[in-house]
Structure 1
Amino acid sequence: MKSPLGTLCETAGTHDPEDVEHVTDIGLPEWPQYDGREREGLVRALEQGQWWRMGGGEVDAFEREFAEHEGAAHALAVTNGTHALELALQVLGIGSGDEVLVPAFTFISSSQAVQRLGAVAVPVDVDPGTYNLDAAAAAAAVGPRTRAIMPVHIAGQLADMDALAKLSADSGVPLVQDAAHAHGARWNGRRVGEFGTIAAYSFQNGKLMTAGEGGAVTFPDRDSYEEGFLRHSCGRPRDDRGYHHRTSGSNFRLNEFSAAVLRAQLSRLDEQIDTREQRAPVLDRLLAEIPGVLPQERDARADRVPHYMAMFRVPELAGERRDALVDALVARGVPAFVVFRAVYRTAAFWETGAPDATPEELAARCPNAEALTGDGIWLHHRTLLGTEDQVHRVAEIVADAVRSA
């Protein structure tokens, strides 16, 4: 199916900090971070003699440690975060003709995971302050074919899990949490794995913990975990010697080397979150003092936020002026990016599994996502791993760039 957007969305707003020359170094920490723990883990995986999960011990150990960290009954390590979402939806039985509610404002994997299973991704607007799925908009979008609701915890702040859990209970439609940004997050004292839903995580290179690529799915019960295990290993049971593939599936197995690195990454995650939790309020306060800058709001119930991003909006500098502002920040050493575009503003969204609507009709239903697409900016979380003086310097650079723009 040809995209109704034509070619416009293929080039607009594609600003990557690596493409900007003459970048100033203001001394922010590098990412990824590593030390002897990763080296020891890699050697341990190497010397055990078996490098895939069926013969080694690193993946099994990581799954136990990650499940405990996230408050889940079980965790399953997989190849990447997109596969984690696909697997989570498969375990819920999502398939052809089903509809899944997804935030209109999210990385494209959230909608593509739905669409690759033959289902329809239905974009729903987000809260204008937190940028998370709006529970009231989701309730209005639930229809007879809705089979799942996918909140995405943008920048590590959990969506309104109180309202969404009630919506799920009232409608009978299960939640599946896209927790790609939310390792270690809490909502009213509860971790992602403590809400009784399936959740999917990413360990891609820029994420809060990483092995370059990787992902995980957490499960609330043994049955769903076992279903996930079968499907992530081509439908083949652990002890199978006769190629008795019980379900459809694919090879989403994580290797032993990646798991060894992730175990080391997990060991320092909480300390890094503590640092970001100290720096984020400082940066938000400083950004809020800049005329025209609106930082992402924080719900008081989000009592621990890992801050995958520091996000803000510049409504008076939307579109190309916002893009130029991002380039100016990058040139001065700030790891800045334009935000995700609304999923319906991409050619990929319209290839398969799109709702029966035009981009403009979806934009009218999702005014907050539409506005964010044009005026949002995010800073990589390594910004919040710097010193408080560096955070002040970042805010000064943003203020100066906004004034110049």
Structure 2
Amino acid sequence: MSDPARQAPEFPAWPQFDEAERAGLIRALEQGQWWRNGGSEVDTFEREFAAYHGSPYALAVTNGTHALELALEVLGVGPGTEVIVPAFTFISSSQAAQRLGAVAVPVDVDPETYCIDVAAAEAAITPRTRAIMPVHMAGHFSDMDALEKLSADSGVRLIQDAAHAHGAQWQGKRVGELGSVAAFSFQNGKLMTAGEGGAVTFPESELYEEAFLRHSCGRPRDDRTYRHRTSGSNFRLNEFSASVLRAQLARLDGQIETRELRWPLLADLLAEIPGVIPQGRDRRADRNPHYMAMFRIPGITEERRNALVDALIERGLPAFAAFRAIYRCDGFWETAAPSESVDDIARRCPNSEAINADCVWLHHRTLLGTERQMHDIATIVADTLAEA
């Protein structure tokens, strides 16, 4: 039984909402049309989201996994092609490619930022490679300078998995200003949310227009005679979700500012705990929205790490074990898997293999707490680790 005196104080709730969401839902309700082809909320949200991220085009979709799948599809990913993905990521990064029939090729990540290792990505390129998918892990940008050079030199397109990176910046540039397609998620735990939802930003009108068709069963906006121009599916976002996301977007900047203030303090406090190493930061990633507060405990076993997470939850911290390396998930091997074995991939992905076992993350709502709470978090982690 844990000591109540050592329980974490109550952190801000998530999701957050106020009268802005309520007003948006009523606005969507009373407009009389609840889907995007008759209402105005989705169209307006797309313009606002695109402008916020410095992109000429944004397309709202049903969820972040569909955002990745649609983005890959318009870049020509399908059977006979390969997509390079980080081995350490949420499995949607690979399954979006695999569900299109493409082989997902896992490569290792940087041990400090947990983002894709560019040299490993370069080594994995073959004549079948159609896309490289950097994941901006926990809101920290991948090395976009090196990736953009690799893309230019190889002719392989980039697709940014920005599910964690709403409002992030790389050397002052927003996600949509980097010249590549990017996919976002609005799942319940994300930095802005409508429970579910996603978006894709596009640098080119041609890609955007094709994506619009494919996200709406191949049907043009003004079609009245069912002339489906492409294959596709129904990935359309509804008006109610879009109205909520407009309110969420409006408060995102203030939340990022708070998390950017809190993380350096918490990271310093965690770094003082013997054996704990917080996620590192490349200073070129000059705005990080901090989707997760991540730290590693090198040398800990996966079983002990999992027990530590359970103990942190018992003491009031919203703690989680890190993602499993995608090649260690059964679902990765179900379809369009590489010809390598698990052990083959593990040998060439030592950093992902280690992070898979020794990393812990805290929900971003902890970073919306007070300075005092950052000290409380560090104390609880130190005490719990000492007992684990």
State whether TM-score is above 0.5: yes
Are 2:339 and 1:356 aligned?
A: yes
Per the TM alignment, residue 319 of structure 1 is displaced from its structure 2 partner at its CA by: 1.1
2:204 paired with 1:221? yes
Residue 182 of structure 1 and its aligned partner are, at CA, apart by 0.1
1:193-204 counterparts in 2 under 5 A? 193-204=176-187
Q: What 5-or-longer segments of structure 2 have no aligned partner?
A: none
Distance across 1 between alignment mates of 2:74 and 2:160: 13
**By how many angstroms is 1:25 displaced?**
5.5
Is this contact kept in 1: 2:89–2:324, CA < 8 A?
yes
- Give the CA RMSD over aligned residues: 1.1
- Aligned counterparts of 1:138 and 1:39: Cα–Cα separation in 2: 45
Instruction: State how 1:320-399 maps to structure 2 within 5 Å.
Output: 320-399=303-382
Output the CA distance in 1 between the equivalents of 2:76 and 2:358: 37
Other-structure match for 1:282? 265
Match of 1:153 among 136, 139, 144: 136
Q: How does 1:49-88 map to 2 (within 5 A)?
A: 49-88=32-71
In structure 1, the residue matched to 2:85 is 102
- Measured against aligned partners, the alpha-carbon deviations of 1:142-169 in whole angstroms (never above 9, x if no partner) come to 1111110000000000100000000000
Q: Which runs of 5+ in 1 are unaligned?
A: 1-19
Equivalent-residue separation in structure 2 for 1:295 and 1:279 (angstroms): 13
Paired with 1:363 and 1:277, the residues of 2 have a C-alpha distance of 34
**Residue matched to 1:134:** 117
Equivalent in 281, 289, 299 of residue 316 of structure 1: 299
**CA positional deviation for 1:33:** 0.3
Where do 1:285-300 residues align within 5 Å? 285-300=268-283
The yes-or-no answer on 1:257 pairing with 2:257 is: no
Query: Residue deviations 1:15-65, cap 9 Å, x none?
Result: xxxxx9x99552111100000000000000000000000000000000000
Equivalences, count: 385
Post-superposition shift, 1:318?
2.0
Q: Aligned match of 1:124 in 101, 107, 110?
A: 107
Distance in 2 of aligned mates of 1:57 and 1:86? 25
Q: What's the counterpart of residue 230 of structure 1?
A: 213
CA-to-partner distance for each residue in 1:328-387, whole Å, 9 max, x for gaps? 100011100000000000000000111110000000010000001111100000010000
Contact persistence 2:86–2:133 (CA under 8 A): yes
CA displacement 1:186-235 (0-9 Å, x = unmatched)? 00011100111110000000000000000000000111110010000000
CA distance in structure 2 between the aligned counterparts of 1:204 and 1:127, rounded to whole angstroms: 26
Aligned residue for 2:192?
Answer: 209
Runs of 4+ aligned residues of structure 1 deviating over 3 Å after TM superposition are 22-25
Give the residue type in structure 2 aligned to 1:251.
N
Deviations 1:232-259, CA, capped at 9 Å, x for gaps: 0000000001100000100000000000
Given the two structures, how large is their TM-score scaled by the length of structure 1?
Answer: 0.94
Distance 1:70 1:337 in 2: 29
Matched position secondary structure for 1:175: strand
